Structure 1
């Protein structure tokens, strides 16, 4: 693993543990995410990947350990407070407003200046000032031609692209992606992978991903979890040759 100074890392988790009724879903995890990189969390079923995600974004509170973001201790913060600091996540299940248009979905995210409320009551003319930014975001994710489509009618891969556009509307410094290519066909996987590479050009991405071809193509650093602990860390070549990683994957499919 490469050495670096504290300033090199946007997230530093130390001794992170989470217990459920005595069971350790995550145990003594140390995780450092270097800023402006793509960092992947991988591991077999039940490894603790999503729990680690939930701890970093504060959807769960750690039983033990600390989390620092840009040098600030955020261990005790609430999810909305963490989001306002610049950590925004997507979920494994696409989360868009299905009956709204693509453009309206992105507008909803842009209407969130304080992180507390939406301005439903403002006129279309007032909200129209957001249209240039909406179109810019949709163009960035290849969705501009879909801007007037109702979200529920979009193919699955396009819904995931729309979700990334709405997260980018929040102007995150760090983007956490939970299974961004899950359930996609080959064409959509390639499209979303290229989109992740594009959006990572000026921000940090931490992702849970089971498609190892995507992981190998995109990731600067990979942390392998098994049974709630860090098993290995490094670039793809390093972790793929680690006999402990090979053993962890034998006999079981990824979740």
Structure 2
């Protein structure tokens, strides 16, 4: 992979907690413009990896390189300013604001007016047109005036993706975007991820192997904090070590990949 094709790279990324190694010497390379999935059985270290990438945790050792720049020592706010935006596993929306207001807050953060609430309401109205565009992109235009708390579960996840998009991410980190969903919502959110991936890079932790098979360009499998395998879905799912890792931890095999 040519250097400029790599948007994110980790080199020997390691995190130890009081003698327990949660992530051990992980070398990850994410290709620009791809959907890259991070999978693995329970306790494999996927969420810890995400927390290291967004600097919610500080690595014990190793490097994180984004667009050729070493960002290992940067603060979470600096990481976000560079365009690495994480969509949270627990819907990170303001429940009692409307869908439109939630997206507008994301846009305010992106343009730096987050703390300018004393400005006239008109200055915020200029963000509405963009907010409505984003809602349209995620299929929520008809829900603009609903309060977030009133949305069905799958639509809440779509709102979460819209607020993430409002931050104009270059790299989106999606943490189990289809967790807890029924088939219809899973299909809708999967189609949405495929749609918003155009012109962006997505790194996702996901347990639903049908989703992974359908949209991932590349998959990294973690086991006990280490990279067990990497490749396309066909390559990874045919790997005996991967099958064994999943069979050992989940009764329904690869489909039970849950972090």
Using structure 1 for the length normalisation, give the TM-score: 0.96
Matched, 1:81 2:88: no
Aligned equivalents of 1:120 and 1:108: distance in 2?
11
- Secondary structure of 2:126's match? helix
- Secondary structure of 1:142's match? coil
Deviation at residue 9 of structure 1 after TM alignment: 0.3
- Secondary structure of 1:127's match? helix
Partner of 2:67: 70
Partner of 1:12: 9
Deviation at residue 130 of structure 1 after TM alignment: 1.2
Structure 2, unmatched stretches of 5+, are 251-257
Deviation at residue 121 of structure 1 after TM alignment: 2.1
- Secondary structure of 1:112's match? helix
Aligned equivalents of 1:46 and 1:14: distance in 2?
21
Using structure 2 for the length normalisation, give the TM-score: 0.95
Partner of 1:182: 179
**1:90 alignment partner, one of 87, 97, 109:** 87
Aligned equivalents of 2:133 and 2:140: distance in 1?
10
With over 3 angstroms needed to count, the CA separation of the structure-2 counterparts of 1:114 and 1:137, relative to structure 1, is closer
Aligned equivalents of 2:48 and 2:14: distance in 1?
10
Aligned-residue CA RMSD (Å): 1.1
Deviation at residue 116 of structure 1 after TM alignment: 8.0
Deviations 1:2-57 (A, max 9, x none): xx111110001000000000100000000000000000000000000000111111
Deviation at residue 242 of structure 1 after TM alignment: 0.3
Match runs of 1:149-188 below 5 Å: 149-188=146-185
Partner of 2:188: 191
Deviation at residue 126 of structure 1 after TM alignment: 2.2
- Secondary structure of 2:52's match? helix
Deviation at residue 115 of structure 1 after TM alignment: 5.3
